[in-house]
Amino acid sequence: MPDKAEKDYTLWQLPITGSFKSMSYCIKTADNQSFVIDGGDLPEEGYLSAFIKEKFGGKVDVWFITHPHKSHTAAFAEIIRKGMIIVKKIIYSYVDPELALKYEPSSFSDVENFNNAVKTSKIPSVRVRNGDRLKFGKNIVKIIGAEMLDSDRNYINNTGVVYKFNFKTASVLFLGDIGNEAGLSLMTAFKDELKCDILQMSHHGYYGVSNELYGMISPDICLWPTCKEIWPDGSNVLTRESRDIKNTYEYMNSVGVIEHYIAGIDGLTEINF
């Protein structure tokens, strides 16, 4: 990581304010670009709107969506419905509602609601594909996970977008909620592009990717979009989710992670780099 004099970028992990599952990140770049990644569930909408107005002057240059589950997009959909925030561009991977109905019927309404929100907003949007390389100002974003599986297992999560932000002073990797199947594909197709400085832990820290993939990524900082209720703090009975988190947390420490930030415990986290 760069020394203090070179820290021209700011990344915020936003708190989980009312949801069991949620994921929301904002980035301000050295060339004054404002990015949002996902945005969280509907209970996060008020906090996110106020945050964007305070930090970005009510304007988002690019809004990146990993996948259309409501825990990641409901706040976004409400914000663009209200029209109180200026959003210049939306980046996402299109999910066909018919495939959602076939492979993950419980998420059909999430997909329909998200697709309708993008369509009715009339905001310029880009449907990314695996391997795309995008440039926003001086910032490079590589798409290393989208439409990459033939498997119908964990369909919406596994077909989500993985974003690799390559900034001047650090790289940030957002895994969204991808599962083991998509993770295996990443290790094959993008093994030379996985290393990063800052990593968003997949699927809220549990039921995500393998330790083998995490070892290949080998970040300095881990971001956990994880609620307090399932974090293994030593006082609660371990559920399957918290057991998975505990094992992953211990593994990340073993491969040299320096810092961990947990959205449901630490609240708003600001990282300058």
What is the architecture, at CATH level 2, of domain 8-272?
Answer: 4-Layer Sandwich (3.60)
Distance CA 242, CA 187 (A): 25
pLDDT along the chain (273 residues), means of 10: 68 94 97 98 97 98 98 98 97 95 96 98 95 96 74 87 96 97 92 96 95 97 96 77 94 97 97 97
User: What pLDDT score was predicted for residue 238?
Assistant: 79
Q: How far apart are CA 230 and CA 243, in angstroms?
A: 9
Q: Where are the beta strands (DSSP E) in 54-161?
A: 59-60, 62-64, 86-87, 90-92, 125-127, 133-136, 139-145
| Total-model pTM | 0.95
pLDDT of residue 152: 75
Q: What is the pLDDT of residue 207?
A: 87
pLDDT score for 235: 61
